Amino acid sequence: MDLVSAVLDGILLGGLYALFGAGLSLIFGVMRLVNIAHGDLIVLSAFIALVLTAHLGVHPLVSLVLVVPLMTLLGYGLQRGVFNRTLGDDILPPLLASFGVSVFLQNALLKIFSADSQRLHAGNLETLRVDLPGGMAVGVLPCLMFFVAVFVICGLQLLLYHTQLGRAFRSISDDQETAQLMGINNAHLFGLAMALSLAIVSIAGVFLGIRTNFDPSIGPTRLIFAFEAIIIGGLGNLWGTLVGGVILGVAQTLGARINPGYQILAGHIVFLTILTLRPQGFFQRTR
């Protein structure tokens, strides 16, 4: 039963990792940009929510009403103002630029908030549990995280495969030059893709801040979890990213059951094993 409970917790944790990965996957898919600052932007969202909850006295989930639009606008501005200037045939300049943004964010957050651990307090939501058959119980918050992840991925799938904007994203992903011949303004679409990515990042950041302590330095490890979820699931497949997140989450919770110190290591070991045996991930790129 303890094992089943660990697996269940891992599945629900996978929702958070899927949220980490979905935004990163979108950016890489559309513009082949590996955003090294992705994890730090997740942490930035948590800090923005912290400020809003402290000053406005609102619940962290209510703060999303402001955090999401703020991060969306930041995403568009960051892409148009910084990353678009680096995009070209060489993959190195955008990588270096995102690394620079990562360093800047970490140091700016350190300067403003210090290195102290912070937490977003969600009141009863943090401890509410639902009883399941067999004497098990699951947290309401992890369930909410998971269902929000599924909802976000459904929304992304609908956008990418049933709207003209989604077709434009996929066209640019296939062939940037020919996409221009369709009348697509690539610079603007890249901005929209980053805006959408950071909207997802902001949701992930608030959930992260409720679930665990955070500080300016934890961004890079969130980036690694995002990568792992994408690679396990298969590049270019959003449902694969959800499955990848779940596999990672289950690996971590089972590792923690053996020994709390093994949690992160267990996730990395499973990731490396899958990468060795099936480097293309479990799911093919969705056409």
Partner 1 sequence: MTQSNLLETRRLVAFYGDFQALFGIDFRIERDETVAMIGSNGAGKSTFLKSIIGLVRAEAEAIYFDGEAIGGDSAYRIVSRGVSMVPEGRRLFPSLSVEENLSIGAYSKRKGPWNLEAVYTIFPMLKERRRAAAMALSGGQQQMAAIGRALMANPKLLLCDEISLGLAPVIIKEIYAHLERVSANGTSLIVVEQDIKQALAIADRVYCLREGRVALEGRPSDLTREQITEAYFGI
Residue closer to partner 1 by CB (options 63, 171) is 171
CB of 6 to partner 1, least distance (A): 38
Give 150 or 165: the residue with its C-beta nearer to partner 1. 165
Spatial contact of 189 and 216, defined as CB atoms under 8 Å apart: no
Q: CB-wise, 185 or 213, nearer to partner 1? A: 185
Residue 22 or 189: the one with the smaller Cβ distance to partner 1 is 189
Nearest to 19 by CA among 204, 195, 156: 204
Q: Tell me how far apart the alpha carbons of residues 77 and 105 are, in angstroms, rounded to a whole number.
A: 15
User: At its nearest, how many Å lie between partner 1 and the CB of residue 287?
Assistant: 5
Q: Which residues bind to partner 1, rule: CB under 8 A?
A: 164, 167-168, 170-171, 173-175, 177-186, 285, 287
Q: Two tokens at 197?
A: 């990515």
- DSSP class per residue in 187-243: HHHHHHHHHHHHHHHHHHHHHHHHHS-B-TT-HHHHHHHHHHHHHHH-TT-HHHHHH
How far apart, in whole angstroms, are the C-alpha atoms of residue 20 and residue 226? Answer: 5
Shortest distance, position 173 Cβ to partner 1, whole Å: 7
Q: Is residue 35 a contact partner of residue 98, using CB atoms and an 8 Å limit?
A: yes
The alpha-helical segments, DSSP class H, found in 34-89 are: 38-56, 60-81
161 Rama class: left (phi>0) / alpha (psi -120 to 50) / beta: alpha
Nearest approach, Cβ of residue 161 and partner 1 (Å): 9
CB of 89 to partner 1, least distance (A): 13
The angle, 0 to 180 degrees and rounded to 10, between the axes of the packed helices 38-56 and 60-81 is 140
Q: 119 vs 167, which CB is nearer to partner 1?
A: 167
Please state the closest distance from residue 285 (CB atom) to partner 1, in A.
Answer: 8
Q: Is the Cβ of residue 97 or residue 189 nearer to partner 1 in the bound state?
A: 189
